[in-house]
Amino acid sequence: MSLYLVDGTFELFRAYYAMPPMYAPDGRPVAAVRGLLQTLITLAHDDDVTHLACAFDHVIESFRNRLFDGYKTGEGVPDDLASQFHLAERAASTLGMVVWPMVEFEADDAIATAAARWCGGQEAGRVVICSPDKDLAQMVRGDRVVCLDRRRETVLDEAGVREKFGVEPRSIPDYLALVGDANDGIPGVPRWGAGTSARLLSCYGHIENIPPDPAEWDVAVRGAAAASASLEGHRERAALYKLLATLRTDAPIEERLEDLRWTGVLREPFRELCGELGFQALVDQPRRWRDAEDRSLP
């Protein structure tokens, strides 16, 4: 069994910037949804996929915005992209996959919840997280939970996380808290670059374990005194940034693993959607179909 978990919001954004403008017969912009559908159809028909789910940020804001004013918001999202968010959820549902539209939580939290829930049991073979997002690397476990960057065709297992970031998956929230994550609006701690952060976290694991006195550090780093002073002056902020970067594993997901088994595209809903949006070129692309009665659509 292979469970594939897709960051639908990431794929929608990527499609928006990759696709030329496209409009439905009624004038709605639909290029991002068109690109998303193409990506999901291709993925669903991969022979390795047995179970499949797609998570979306139903709205960009989440509980993290109440914790930190600087956290990412929907500000700056182009109107013609924002207008496709809910349509994208409907489109993914016509493909017969489980869709998780997140409110309060983020799509990444839904993916983290699913990965944590189903990575350990005998029923779960491998969990593949379809996203290059750095924060999802914290969910990697050996070669049983991996991150797949489909565009670059690279798979990140636990050894790959260590090679790329210099830390264990469990230290990724600490790493992002120190170096920052511009995509999420996390500024990081001054004087803590990737090298310093990796060396200290590879030794101590978590920010709270790093001794306040650099003379006690078991690894040598350039500018240790300045880095230590900066961390001591930003301990509370660093703890907050780590909290922001830590994915939740209690997102409201009600499905059982068997509910995620992918058995085909919903023929009539999918074809109706293609007709409505002017996606005639996609109508006959699916190779596997099933009846629509057993999966409700939003």
Token readout for 292 is 């629509």
User: Would you identify the CATH topology of the domain 169-245?
Assistant: DNA polymerase; domain 1 (1.10.150)
Per-residue burial over 153-180, b if 16 or more Cβ lie within 10 Å, else e, is eeebbbebbbeebbbbbebbbbbbbbbb
Q: What is the pLDDT of residue 123?
A: 63
Q: What is the pLDDT of residue 50?
A: 95
36 in Cβ contact with 88 (< 8 Å) = yes
User: Would you identify the CATH topology of the domain 2-163+248-290?
Assistant: Rossmann fold (3.40.50)
169-245 has the same fold as 2-163+248-290: no
Tens digits of per-residue pLDDT, 228-282?
A: 999 999 999 999 999 999 999 999 999 999 999 999 999 999 999 999 999 999 9
- Show contacts of 144-150: CB within 8 Å, 24+ apart: 144/119, 145/115, 145/119, 148/4, 150/39, 150/43
| Average pLDDT over every residue of 139-145 | 96
* Paired sense of beta strands 126-130 and 145-149, if any: parallel
Token readout for 33 is 């949804």
Grade residue 296 by pLDDT with cuts at 50, 70 and 90.
very low
What are the phi and psi torsion angles at 127 (to 5°)?
A: -110, 125
Grade residue 125 by pLDDT with cuts at 50, 70 and 90.
confident
CA distance 192 to 197: 6
Q: What is the pLDDT of residue 298?
A: 43
CA distance 74 to 58: 11
Q: What percent of the chain has pLDDT over 90?
A: 93
Token readout for 46 is 């991969």
Query: How much is the pTM?
Result: 0.94
Residues linked to residue 147 through DSSP beta bridges, in sequence order: 129, 156
| Average pLDDT over every residue of 166-193 | 98
Grade residue 211 by pLDDT with cuts at 50, 70 and 90.
very high
Whole-number average pLDDT of the chain: 95
Tens digits of per-residue pLDDT, 144-169?
A: 999 999 888 899 999 999 999 999 99
Token readout for 165 is 């970031």
Domain edges within the chain? 2-163+248-290, 169-245
Q: What is the pLDDT of residue 74?
A: 92
